[in-house]
Structure 1
Amino acid sequence: MAYPVDTLEDDPEGYQAAALAYYELLREEAQTSTEIISLSTGEQVRLKTSSLCFCTMYRDEPQHKILVLVNPQDTKTVVAVYLKESWWSIEDVLRTSDPTREGLMKVQSFGERIVLFVLNTIVFGRLERRLGSDDMFFLPHPAKEQAKILWRDGAAVGFYSIKMKGSLCGDGTSSCYLLPVFDTVFVRRKNRCQGLGTAMLRDFCDTFQGDEALGISCPISPAMYKVLRQFLLTCPGERGRLWEVEPPGAWGQRVNIWLKVYLQEQRLQDGVDRWGTGEDTE
């Protein structure tokens, strides 16, 4: 079976135009439409415009949208995506039939951008995040955000994104990042506690071997601190390179992460844990 990431051409405008035409057709046939889609739960859902919406794919280019189907019983939960004149379940959008797609791979194609969007905005944003908790929340990535998707056994199971050195810190500012920054990271729940978080950190450090200082976006969640602690315990050579940073990452905006880990260890020895608890990202 060929999945969207393996077959989509780099034609986002064409796919969006096709989705708009399909949506208009459904709206015109609202009273007579009998099109049905089967959810992973086995539920049969009649396709109606009230269950469809266009989601913005990129933070900095709101004109680019993707058509999605939401659960009629929970309109904030996306269950399928319209691509190449077909509806695809969320799990199928994240799958690949290409055996060479394995491990951490840089996001380059339009199909991979969709996988990144689904992992970030749909899977993490709605399906696997504890809504109402203190967990981190990610906005859609910018259109040209540097990122890598983690592929495992034919499926995308995680990602991390990078703010490149010299890139703008945001809209409306001329400030640029002074160092590469490990910005957002996510691993699916069923793939956690398998060392994937530390593997992504190691890949990030290896990618920028020539840089003396590397950033981790502030604020860092308690779960991510646990991953960082484990990584720095096993990779002591990176202790002087990793800094918790606020943009653009000047020296006054950096705190050495290993120093924070060390100080926390001292507090633990004194019987005081100030990190609290958090869901394991790794």
Structure 2
Amino acid sequence: MICTRCAKCVRTVMIQLDLRNLNVQGNVCRVDCIDGDHFVDVILNDEVIDVNNIYSDRLVDEWQQVQTDRDKVLFYILSQIVYPNLDTPRADKFESLYAPVDEHDIVSLRWQKGKAVGFYTVKPTGTEIFSTKERYVMPTVDTAYIRSEYRNQGFGTEILSDVIARFPNEDIGFSKPISSSMLRILKTFLMSHKEYRLRFWEISDCDIGVSQQLIWCRLKKMVMK
């Protein structure tokens, strides 16, 4: 097949994927380029899903909750392939690999000129943690990612606005550890939106009952050091 990155005919290998956690129906295969040693695309029921494609039905620049199988596959590509391999997380910035989402997690993609350029996920209130059997007491932003070439364009702040619009009357959690980049976004946002200083919480899923901490209090302590 023709590899879009190599721009020539190459040898490829197909790997069967199990995306039942995303409720993706049908046959899903990952295609890797053997000659170039990199990921190419995902094939969903004979449809090629390429994260670099422009999709004509997504030309409005906005956050949209994923609903179609194609969009779920695009989220999988961004979270499990592009992020770890091309924008490798850095431990010194409190970035980490993302575990697969749970069945009831809310997943939203950021569309820019027909391309999926980022995502964020939310654990809804009441979501059970398998290891502890505790439940999330508020909607909690669990993961967030913008492709490196689309950063510094305000998409991170848009995540906060989109979550607030989705849960207008609720406190909002952010999974611990909060990355350095997200913490900077939160600081800038809370500096100018005082009404949310008592509504944003840092939450550790290993011990929800005692781990809640107001993000604004944490930010103030950081400034005092």
Give the TM-score, by structure 1 length.
0.70
Partner of 2:103: 143
Match of 2:40 among 79, 84, 90: 79
- For 1:1-282, list aligned pairs within 5 A: 36-47=1-12, 51-57=13-19, 66-73=28-35, 75=37, 77-92=38-53, 95-99=54-58, 101-130=60-89, 135-170=95-130, 173-211=132-170, 213-247=171-205, 249-250=208-209, 252-267=210-225
Distance 1:88 1:204, change over 3 A: closer
Distance 1:132 1:184, change over 3 A: closer
- 1:155 Cα deviation (Å)? 0.9
Distance 1:83 1:65, change over 3 A: closer
Local SS of the residue matching 1:202: helix
The share of aligned pairs that are identical, in percent, is 24
- 1:83 Cα deviation (Å)? 2.7
Runs of at least 5 residues in structure 2 that lack an aligned partner in the other structure:
none
C-alpha contact (below 8 Å) 1:79/1:90 kept by paired residues:
no
**Amino acid paired to 1:238:** Y
The number of aligned residues is: 223
- 1:59 Cα deviation (Å)? 5.3
- 1:100 Cα deviation (Å)? 5.6
- 1:58 Cα deviation (Å)? 5.0
**Amino acid paired to 1:178:** V
Give the TM-score, by structure 2 length.
0.86
Deviation string, structure 1 residues 138-168 (Cα, Å, up to 9, x no partner): 1222233211111111111111100000121
Local SS of the residue matching 1:244: strand
Separation in 2 of the partners of 1:138 and 1:122? Answer: 10
